Amino acid sequence: MDEGVGVLRLGDIAPGDAAALLARHGLELVAVDDGAPIPGSYWGAPEAGIIGTRVYARADTPVHSLLHEACHLIVLPPERRALVHTDATDSVPEEDATCYLQIVLADDLPGVGRARLMADMDAWGYTFRLGSTRAWFEHDAGDARAWLAERGLPTG
Domain boundaries, the chain: 10-149
Cα diameter, the chain: 40
Task: Give 29's strand partners.
Answer: 55
Neighbours of 140 (CB within 10 A): 13
What's this model's pTM, rounded to 2 decimal places? 0.93
Mean pLDDT of 33-49: 94
> Is the Cα dihedral 130, 101, 7, 30 positive or negative?
negative
154 prior amide bond cis, ω within 30 = no
Quick one: angle between helices 113-124 and 63-74, nearest 10? 100
- 1 confidence band (pLDDT: 50, 70, 90): very low
Mean pLDDT of 21-45: 95
Long-range contacts formed by 146-151: CB under 8 A, 24+ apart: 147/93, 147/94, 147/96, 147/97, 148/75, 148/97, 148/100, 148/101, 151/75
Least confidently predicted of 32-36, 90-94, 103-107, 116-120: 90-94
